[in-house]
């Protein structure tokens, strides 16, 4: 019988993506299945689905910050009490796009932006984090788990501006070593890295994603289903047929 498989789509900007990643990456429970970590653009998914970002919804913007801390406490996940510097950040490099389709605009409160009539370069703040991760995926996909672990730690635990090369560069180096990290950073502006990130985001949308975390879970019977949210991780485990044991039973 085939091993269960789990794909999780990730963007460093998402706090609940971090919570899901941390649990999956560090729990022995998920050693029972093959896990694939896929970098995407959350802002692109949100815009494609006409999904209103939580930070632009009255009252929900305050609630989700409390909610992430509650979940982190329940699962003993390290996380900063305050949001990271510059949050929400744009995790794609500067490019020429209309502001209405900007990943930053998709994540930030509406009062931060005054859309101009013409396309312009998004520079608030420029980031290349997700492209670097996409470049790493092309070079060494088996290293993505370790890379996401360090990137998430820098952003959601240490509160550093992960969109800056001086932050995500060293994070990648700690995860995969100097040589491979340099290769990924050097390639982040390449057509291949851009195409990979775009393809990943399109695949997430095709798989039904409308936010993050989004999972695609295939059990030993070959049955595949999509799931959304950190709070639905228990359903993911149930579908995959994983033996929970006692450690996560009460929380999931």
Tokens standing for residue 141: 């996909």
In angstroms, rounded to a whole number, what is the distance separating the alpha carbons of residues 132 and 127? 10
Tokens standing for residue 118: 């013409």
The dihedral sign for the CA sequence 156, 159, 162, 167: negative
Query: Cβ neighbours of residue 181 under 8 Å, at least 6 residues apart?
Result: 169, 172, 173, 175
Q: Which residues are catalytic?
A: 14
Cβ(136)–Cβ(172) under 8 Å? yes
Nearest to 144 by CA among 25, 1, 17: 25
List, in sequence order, the alpha helices (H) in 110-154.
129-139, 144-152
List, in sequence order, the alpha helices (H) in the chain.
15-26, 42-48, 60-74, 103-107, 129-139, 144-152, 165-176, 178-187, 191-206, 233-240
């Amino acid at each position: 019988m085939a091993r269960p498989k789990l794909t999780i789509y990730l963007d460093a900007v998402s706090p609940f993506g971090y919570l899901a990643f941390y649990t999956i990456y560090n729990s022995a429970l998920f050693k029972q299945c093959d896990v694939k970590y896929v970098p995407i653009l959350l802002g692109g998914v949100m815009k494609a689905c006409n999904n209103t970002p939580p930070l632009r919804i009255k009252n929900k913007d305050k609630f989700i910050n409390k909610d992430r801390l509650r979940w982190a406490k329940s699962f003993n996940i390290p996380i900063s009490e305050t949001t990271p510097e510059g949050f929400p950040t744009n995790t794609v490099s500067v490019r020429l796009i209309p502001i209405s389709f900007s990943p930053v605009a998709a994540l930030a409160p509406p009062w931060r932006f005054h859309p101009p009539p013409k396309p312009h370069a998004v520079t608030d703040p420029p980031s290349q984090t997700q492209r670097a991760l996409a470049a790493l995926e092309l070079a060494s996909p088996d290293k993505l788990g370790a890379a996401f672990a360090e990137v998430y730690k820098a952003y959601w635990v240490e509160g550093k501006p992960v969109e800056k090369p001086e932050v995500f560069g060293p994070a990648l180096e700690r995860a995969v070593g100097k040589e491979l990290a340099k290769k990924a950073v050097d390639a982040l502006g390449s057509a291949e890295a851009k195409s990979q990130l775009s393809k990943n985001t399109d695949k997430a949308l095709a798989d039904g994603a409308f936010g993050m975390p989004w999972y695609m879970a295939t059990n030993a019977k070959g049955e595949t289903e999509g799931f959304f949210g950190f709070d639905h991780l228990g359903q993911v485990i149930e579908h995959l047929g994983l033996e929970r044991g006692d450690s996560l039973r009460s929380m999931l």
